Structures are given as C-alpha cells and as structure tokens.
Chains A and B, each alone.
Chain A
Amino acid sequence: EVQLVESGGGLVQPGGSLRLSCAASGFTFSSYDMHWVRQATGKGLEWVSAIGTAGDPYYPGSVKGRFTISRENAKNSLYLQMNSLRAGDTAVYYCARAPEGATYFDYWGQGTLVTVSS
C-alpha cells in the first residue's frame, strides 16, 4: 500500500525557517517524481515545488529562492526546506507522488500544517 506521511509542520515566526519531511512507503520511491502542494484554510490548491527522479527541482515564482526541495532515495524521503517564511505561506502542506514525467498526482499524504505568525 502506497503511503506518504508528512511531518515537521508547526508555528514559526515571520522570517523564520522550517523543514518538512515526507516519508514514503509501498512503492519504489526513486522511480517517481515528487511534489509539494499547499492549501491555505478555505482556499484552493497551490503547487509549491517538484523534484524529478534525477533530483532536478522546480518551483513557482512565489517560493523560488526561499524554498528548497530535496529527496533522499536511500531513506525513501522527501524534504522541503522553507526559509524567509511569510504569513502568506501559512497552509497545510501535502506531499504528492507523480509518475515520472506526468503532471498528475496519484497519491497524496495527509498534510502537515505550517502557521507563520508572530
């Protein structure tokens, strides 16, 4: 059974940093692209970052230069290092799996809440 379990969320002050983790199981982690998608309370879905099987990262303009996605295939783990956090980054962060080269997400984790507030 495919499982994605996020951790690392919490309360952080504006300008602070946080590192999210996603533990994957039930599939060959190294063979899939992995993504982070976030959702502010009562709002829609926003793609945050992606990393391909070769470790190539992708970001939207809203987080580029502040967020860094990485993966550790030996540990079946995905990470998101978030720096210079702003109130607008407050959201539930989901990790999601995508078949290599595909832009649809076939499995999602349960999400971890990040709150940026003083």
Chain B
Amino acid sequence: DIQMTQSPSSLSSSVGDRVTITCRASESISSYLSWYQQKPGKAPKLLIYAASTLQSGVPSRFSGSGSGTEFTLTISSLQPEDFATYYCQQGFTFGPGTKVDIK
C-alpha cells in the first residue's frame, strides 16, 4: 500500500502570510493527488484535484503543484477563514493532516 506523509503536522501563521504544505507518497502516484480543507465540526471540502486543478468555487489563493512523490499546497495570502486542517489524498488513502492555526 502507498503511504502518505504530510509536513509540517502543524504550523502557526499570520493573516497575509504565504503558507506551503508538503505531501509525500511512498511511491510515484503520477498526479493523482487531491487536497481537502476541514474546519472543526464540519465535513472536509475539496480544494484541489489532479494535483493542481482548482475545484470550482475555491479561491485562487489556493494552488497545488507536484507530481510523482512530492506535492505542495500553497495558500498565497492566508485569510482568517483559512485556519483549518488540510489533508492530502491519493487513491483512497489520506495523509495525516496539517493543522494551520493563528500565530
């Protein structure tokens, strides 16, 4: 089975900061990588699929890149509503999550 890791596991940032989260796969997964945002008590929300395709309605400050085994989610300018936990996903396997909170 392919294993997914994320780094960092948590980070503290300020509004307006550029934030980058990394997801690594234990073997090459081409571009079959998705990103989700989850706020406390809410269902996950799809942000990006196929590594870099922005889901309809998701703000353009979110972007994804990468292929093979290393992928990144970037938030270009962190907004108050972006404080949440972010998960990557390959196939039916999710990464452990990265919690983004307020510095």
Contact = CB atoms under 8 A, between A and B. Distances in A.
Contact of B87 (A44, A50, A106): A44
A45 interface: yes
Nearest to B33: A104
A110 B43 contact: yes
Given A45-B87, A103-B32, A103-B34, A108 B92 contact: no
Contacts of B91: 103
A111 interface: yes
Given A108-B43, A108-B44, A108-B45, A103 B92 contact: yes
Interface residues of B, number: 22
Given A105-B46, A108-B43, 13 more contacts: A44-B97, A45-B36, A45-B89, A45-B97, A47-B93, A47-B94, A102-B49, A103-B89, A103-B91, A105-B36, A108-B45, A110-B43, A111-B43
A81 B87 CA distance: 27
Interface of B: 32, 34, 36, 38, 42-46, 49-50, 55, 87, 89-97
A46 interface: yes
A50 B87 CA distance: 19
Chain A: interface size category? 20 to 34
B92 A104 contact: no
Interface centre among B45, B92, B97 (most CB of A within 10 A): B92
A109 interface: yes
